[in-house]
Amino acid sequence: MTLPKMSPAPPVLDVGDTCHGFTVTKAVPLPHLNGVFYSLVHVLTNAQYIHIQCPDRENAFGVALKTVPTDSTGVAHILEHTVLCGSRKFPVRDPFFSMLKRSLNTFMNALTAADWTLYPVASMNRKDFYNLMGIYLDATYFPLLREQDFLQEGHRLDFADPGDPASLMIKGVVFNEMKGAMADPSSLLGRRLNAALFPTTCYGENSGGEPLVIPDLTWEQLRAFHKAYYHPSNSWIFTYGNLLLEEHLQQIDDLALSRFE
């Protein structure tokens, strides 16, 4: 099979150049990718930005944030789910699942780790790529965080059988997800070991949420966690592919970063 010939990535910006509120701090040639690695900083908000310009039609975008939990309520994990339940510009029910059915994306997800949260997407279609970028930027920085979405994604009391008062139980997307994950006996060793090795840091907590502790989380605490960590100054943004860096910068500044102080 003969692979299609890819044209070289065009030169974009140089160190010290400013474009759409960003300043280039590093530009490193990547001969093995026929491209360039760029590091930039947003002057207004101090958001960090990384871009790999190369002749790959598979374009990717993501926002990563430092999220450091102080307990095992799963606040970062539940917040990751809840921000994708509607935002200021897209106040619809579960836009994430609407995108799955309507988008031409090649990858779309959200990930929670011990001390960071990531929202990545990828698409080979230019219009679809920028649509996804706009939706993810609005969801990350301007989510509605409605209480009903917290009850859906986090935890709530509900009846397994509406006609049986004795069937009251705890439900919730993340609660049920973590019940299944923690039911695996192999997970117990890692959790206990981390708690013993890192008792005073976030690595000793279960960032996904311990089922016995998740019900301690309140909607107000979820909103406070978002306010504390979901700000451009605490985020890294990245892009990859053959679309032009200048257009990425314009979209990101116009849709999100320019709205902050």
Residue 136 CA to chain centroid, in angstroms?
8
Q: Tokens representing 53?
A: 């310009």
Give phi and psi for 153, each to the nearest 5.
-85, -30
Active site residue 153: no
At CA 252, angle to CA 250 and CA 258, rounded to 5?
Answer: 90
Residue written as token pair 């970028």: 133
CB 210, CB 74: distance < 8 Å: yes
Q: Which of 80, 147, 220, 261 is catalytic?
A: 80
What six digits make up the tokens of 261? 């102080």
Please state the φ and ψ torsions of residue 216, each to the nearest 5 degrees.
Answer: -75, -15
Q: Which residues are catalytic?
A: 80
